[in-house]
Amino acid sequence: GKDNNNKNSIQFYSQSLQDASLHIIELEKELRDAIKYHQFELYLQPIVNLEQNSIYKAEALIRWNHPEKGLISPIQFIPEAEKSELINAIGHWVIKSACELVKQLNKHGYNIKISINLSPSQVIEENLFSFIHNCIKEYNIEPDLLEFEVTEGVLVNDYAIAEKLLSKIRAIGMSVSVDDFGTGYSSLAYLKRLPLDFVKIDQSFVKDIVVDDNDKAIVRAVIAMAHNLNLGVTAEGVETVEQLKFLKNNACNSVQGYLYSRPINFESFLKLIKEFY
């Protein structure tokens, strides 16, 4: 408030700013070490195809096994990493590791697609496509077992670059989904013109879908629109049987959420799919 505008509070403010930038520098160093010392791990969360009742896909979600602080969630370090070129190094690690997991799944007899989150700055990274292409060749995996998730913002802000990248991705058989759909700024014109395969309805619309008529209307409209544009629809954050029922009744194609499973490590994921089949 106005009353705090005295010398003490200004001093306090600049002190905390200094703390914050110190913290960021430390975090950057720690993130570099995290790659070097193999502290990152990809968890997998199943995505269930409602037509076939099968786990046909899984989203790769990064976790940081910090030597002192334990398991750290991506929301605590990905936004920070996105402020520097560190996100590209982490992103490369994620892509390589996802290819490795596809390969491991193949060895166990499963053809399950893995979906990889791309940060906006990765989309505009110059050699991203060749990096992905090289990984596919190195691990000798089928391109149709990889998918990339991008958010609406990048489709609008860097339309031309995004269009080029996504076209190349789809040209060799990989797929593309729009993540957190409905929370960013996008126009329907972009959805129509861009090379896409799936729309992932953000969990904020799914949360109250059983009780909130507005959310019901929004989700129905998104599903109808996506289908008219020949896109599949995945609902995120499905936690209850009632939510699942609504989504099934409204022709949603696939679901992801705690109802089926939280994101889990590879070993647990293998166990889960063995039980599911």
Q: Summarize as ranges the residues that interact with ligand C2E (CB under 6 A).
A: 45, 60-62, 73-75, 78, 94, 117, 119, 149, 179-180, 203, 236-239, 256-258, 263
Q: Which residues of 169-201 are buried (b: 16+ CB within 10 A; e: fewer)?
A: bbeeebbbbbbbbbebebeeebbeebbbbbbbb
Query: Which CB, 59 or 125, lies closer to Mg ion?
Result: 59
Query: Which CB, 117 or 243, lies closer to Mg ion?
Result: 117
Amino acid at 33: D
Q: Which two tokens stand for residue 65?
A: 């096994």
Q: How far apart are CA 61 and CA 45, in angstroms?
A: 8
Cβ neighbors of 142 (< 8 A, separation 6 or more) are: 102, 111, 173
Query: Which CB, 178 or 191, lies closer to ligand C2E?
Result: 178
Applying CB under 5 A, the span of 21-29, 34-42, 165-173, 234-242 interacting with Mg ion comes to 234-242
Q: Closest separation between CB of residue 202 and Mg ion, Å?
A: 6
Question: Residue 72's beta-bridge partner residues?
Answer: 64
Q: Residue 146, SS3? A: strand
Q: Closest separation between CB of residue 128 and Mg ion, Å?
A: 17
Q: Closest separation between CB of residue 230 and Mg ion, Å?
A: 21
Query: Which CB, 97 or 136, lies closer to ligand C2E?
Result: 97
Q: How many Å from the N-terminal Cα to the C-terminal Cα in the chain?
A: 60
* Residue with smallest beta-carbon separation from ligand C2E: 257
Closest CA to 132 of 77, 175, 161: 175
Binder of Mg ion out of 88, 179, 191, 247 (CB under 5 A): 179
Query: Which CB, 47 or 194, lies closer to ligand C2E?
Result: 47
Within 180-199, the residues that bind Mg ion by CB under 5 A are 180
Within 127-156, the residues that bind Mg ion by CB under 5 A are 149
Q: Closest separation between CB of residue 200 and ligand C2E, Å?
A: 7
Applying CB under 5 A, the span of 46-54, 69-77, 112-120, 124-132 interacting with Mg ion comes to 112-120
CA distances from residue 262 to 45, 49, 238, 259 in whole angstroms, order as listed? 6, 16, 10, 8
Query: Which CB, 143 or 182, lies closer to ligand C2E?
Result: 182
Residue pair 80/29 in contact (Cβ under 8 Å)? The answer is: no
| Residues of this chain that bind Mg ion (CB under 5 A) | 117, 149, 179-180, 236
